[in-house]
């Protein structure tokens, strides 16, 4: 029996509305190595069935609140040390000024990003928090989110492994939150692996945070980092770990597939970027494993080819800012929204702006926050076109 026939059987099961097992996902990957045609075809059918003709994005401003971090990841340039030029410590005044400017640019999302509990490692962070009137980064995030809301933006926080109590506090101001799983394999935390010096990247710890968010009905964005020394099976394992949580709580609103890009001044600077065909295959497999999920790739990390990933079944471009840099990947600027729309339309899709929370997750949003969104919401739960343009 040919590899193509062996791959088609489980793919047909998905098209019939049946779920595939982890073993079947392994087999699909093994059998489509030389011909991805049926995989991409199936992924496209599923995306069109469950996501219609829409490809979405979030018009955002990136609030780089504090980039001191207790972790050291093998590929990260976001983390700063005291005295470095890239160090960011945003005061309440800074937050308010950026929020007001973002409103003028018709941004919808206030993306708050911080390092992992910087006050536990750096006296500078503790002193900065104290000067602003706070005991912890999480406490400051609540206040910063309130400032963003007052300015007409909708907060989405990505601040590492927050406790259940901290997530609950942020639920009052954040319409959604984010935590990248990156990978569920403990092997990546071992010696000479990218997470050896990053205790917060423990898969058990990250999965526990996502579980806590599920128990609190907090809409969560999570995802996988592709190309950091993992195996294909470990990516599949990671996707099933996310699926298992979503099956229990229904709170995973989006999966990001992020392709590794090497950066200078990191331990992985000589590791090659992930091969594009492999990356695209993993994106399509994500759609096969979770047909109804919102699946995103960041367009700035594939600047010359992002539009071709529509052929792999994605339906979202993530946050794009007309105002601020991608401080996590500063080497890769955001594409202009007009260009993204042109590429999307040329591929046969409509570009629609969304809130940081997807329409199907609105029922999890507290009524006070939902009511703030309705004046600029269209009948489908997206941002009204006349507002975001």
Beta bridge partners of 64: 113
Query: Residue 239 has which token pair?
Result: 């996707």
Q: Which domains does the chain have, with CATH numbers?
A: 36-388 (3.20.20.70)
Nearest C-alpha neighbor of 216 from the set 360, 113, 364: 364
Mean pLDDT on 367-387: 97
* pLDDT value for 383: 98
> Percent of the chain beyond pLDDT 90?
94
For residues 151 and 100, the answer to whether their CB atoms sit within 8 Å is yes
* pLDDT value for 1: 45
Three state DSSP letters for 144-157? HHHHHHHCCCEEEE
Mean pLDDT on 97-124: 97
Task: For 291-338, give the DSSP string.
Answer: TTS-EE--GGGSTTTGGGGGGGT--EEEEE-SSS--TTSTTSPPPPHH
Mean pLDDT on 205-216: 98
| Selected residue with higher pLDDT from 65 and 31 | 65
For residues 356 and 296, the answer to whether their CB atoms sit within 8 Å is no
For residues 388 and 108, the answer to whether their CB atoms sit within 8 Å is yes
- Distance between CA 388 and CA 375 in Å, rounded? 13
Mean pLDDT on 10-26: 93
* 6-15, 19-28, 108-117, 154-163: least confidently modelled range: 6-15
At 49-86, the pLDDT tens digits run: 999 999 999 999 999 999 999 999 999 999 999 999 99
* pLDDT value for 7: 61
Q: Residue 6: pLDDT band by 50, 70, 90 thresholds?
A: low
- Distance between CA 84 and CA 69 in Å, rounded? 13
* pLDDT value for 3: 53
For residues 174 and 156, the answer to whether their CB atoms sit within 8 Å is yes
For residues 362 and 345, the answer to whether their CB atoms sit within 8 Å is no
Rounded mean pLDDT of the chain?
A: 95
Mean pLDDT on 171-194: 96
Beta strands in the chain (DSSP E): 54-66, 109-114, 154-158, 176-178, 220-226, 252-259, 295-296, 316-320, 350-353
Mean pLDDT on 105-121: 97
Does 198 have pLDDT greater than 90?
yes
At 101-110, the pLDDT tens digits run: 999 999 999 9
Q: Residue 37: pLDDT band by 50, 70, 90 thresholds?
A: very high
């Amino acid at each position: 029996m040919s590899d193509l026939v062996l791959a088609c059987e489980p793919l047909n099961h998905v098209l019939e509305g049946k779920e595939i097992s982890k073993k079947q996902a392994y087999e699909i990957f093994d059998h489509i190595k030389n011909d991805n045609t049926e995989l991409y075809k199936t992924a496209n059918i599923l995306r069109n069935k469950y996501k219609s003709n829409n490809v979405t994005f979030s018009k955002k401003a990136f609030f780089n609140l504090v980039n001191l971090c207790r972790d050291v990841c093998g590929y990260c340039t976001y983390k700063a040390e005291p005295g470095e030029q890239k160090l960011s410590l945003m005061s309440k005044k800074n937050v308010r000024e950026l929020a007001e400017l973002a409103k003028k640019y018709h941004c919808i999302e206030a993306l708050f990003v911080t390092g992992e509990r910087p006050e536990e490692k750096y006296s500078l962070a503790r002193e900065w928090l104290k000067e602003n009137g706070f005991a912890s980064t999480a406490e400051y995030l609540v206040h910063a989110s309130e400032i963003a809301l007052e300015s007409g933006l909708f907060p989405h926080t990505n601040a590492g492994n927050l406790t259940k109590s901290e997530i609950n506090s942020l639920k009052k101001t954040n319409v959604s939150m984010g935590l990248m799983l990156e990978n569920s394999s403990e092997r990546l935390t071992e010696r000479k692996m990218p997470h050896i010096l990053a205790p917060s990247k423990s898969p058990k710890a990250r999965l526990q945070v996502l579980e806590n968010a599920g128990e609190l009905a907090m809409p969560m964005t999570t995802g996988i980092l592709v190309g950091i020394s993992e195996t294909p099976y470990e990516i599949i394992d990671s996707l099933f770990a996310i699926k298992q949580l979503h099956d229990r709580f229904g709170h995973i609103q989006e999966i990001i597939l992020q392709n590794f890009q090497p950066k200078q001044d990191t331990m992985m600077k000589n590791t090659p970027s992930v091969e594009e065909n492999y990356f695209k295959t993993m994106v399509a497999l994500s759609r096969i494993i979770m047909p109804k999920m919102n699946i995103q790739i960041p367009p700035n990390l594939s600047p010359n080819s992002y539009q071709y990933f529509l052929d792999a079944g994605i339906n979202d471009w993530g946050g794009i800012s007309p105002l601020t840099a991608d401080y996590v990947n500063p080497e890769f600027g955001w594409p202009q929204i007009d260009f993204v729309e042109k590429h999307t339309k040329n591929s046969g899709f409509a570009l629609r702006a969304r809130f940081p929370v997807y329409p199907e997750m609105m029922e999890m949003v507290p009524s006070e926050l939902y009511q703030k969104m309705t004046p600029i919401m269209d009948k489908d739960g997206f941002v009204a076109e006349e507002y975001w343009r």
